[in-house]
Structure 1
Amino acid sequence: MSAVLKVVNRVLLGIVGLLLVALGGSVLAVGLGAPAPSWWLHGGRHDVLLDEAERTRWRDEGWWWPVVIAALAVLVLLLLWWLVAVLRRRRLAEVFVDTGDGDEAVLRARALETALAREAGLPDGVEKARVRLTGRRGVPRARVRLRLEPHADPGSALDTLTTGALAHARESAGLTRLPAEVRLRSVKHHAERVS
């Protein structure tokens, strides 16, 4: 998922969440007897949300139904786009491998993830490595998480990963490029009392 899509996703989720919390909290507060806020649509706790006059006010206007239908259609299309964008992030099932003779073979993505994680976890200072392949079958992207021991140098761990495991995976699969997002996390050891 691209960075722009991540930002749009988080902003939309934040706005929708804030609106729902504000509206739901206000309805709950007014329903429990709290005074209605100044921006509240109704006067008190026993007021209905939409009375008959409000529900039928625009029914006879010629522009009302086309606007409602168009707005709902745009909303449905935006929500479908959002859903497709979120679902496309999932893990790859297979990767196309260039065999060198003009043909292509298919490699299970989990096998490549396992091999990458094993090699990435070999160097001294790396406690655990996790790899996930995303993207498309012909152009995979690697998401690597390294858990480093306290004495490990993050710079050398990253350099070893890029020149070692990632380069080997790219070469063995015949990929021209293998972009990777690497997250490093250090293991924290707690002090223990020695007697």
Structure 2
Amino acid sequence: MARSRTIVNRLALALAGTALIAVATTVLLLRTRWASHSPDALVTPTHLTALREKAWWTPTAMTASIAATALFATWCVRQIGDGRRRSTPLPVPRSALRTRALEDAVAVRAGTTEGIDRCSARVRARRGRLDVLLRVRLRADTAPAAVLPALTAVASDTRATARPHECTVRVHFGIPGHRASRLRQGPIGDTKPPNS
């Protein structure tokens, strides 16, 4: 997907550059012809009025503008996409690993571990590589060390599932009731509230 997007981007850039060069060349060549009629303007008001009176001009200009706008908008939406590949190919012919299915399986398996309140997974697939991010919310009475062996087993199974792709598994722990945005950076022992 990333390779095809790069090819499309380069092709679109080449076509846009070619079109701009063609338009600039045409304008320069025609300007010398039109200079004898009006040296100050490329298109005179009378010429523009005559062009607008032709039956084909308005529909052609509108259609070309709408088509160019729709094409540009579609291209922009595809570029702004979340950048996640929906699937990644496997070595078996005509087979692929759906990243959403892997996210669900990893989250469900990790979520069944004793001491974990909630778990979500996010998989980013790149060429020959998978990055898995596990967000684990622990119960208030559970230490990370208690669930680490089970999560290590989940990570090992995830790497085995992703073969032959390289797979990196990262775990972020969270504890209910402790939000980083409420913590104040300061020296140890400083107990002043953040707003004082």
Band of TM-score, shorter chain:
0.3 to 0.5
Higher relative contact order (CA 8 A, sep 6+): 1
Q: Computing the radius of gyration over CA atoms, which structure comes out larger, 1 or 2?
A: 2
TM-score by length of 2: 0.44
Q: More helix by proportion, 1 or 2?
A: 2
TM-score by length of 1: 0.45
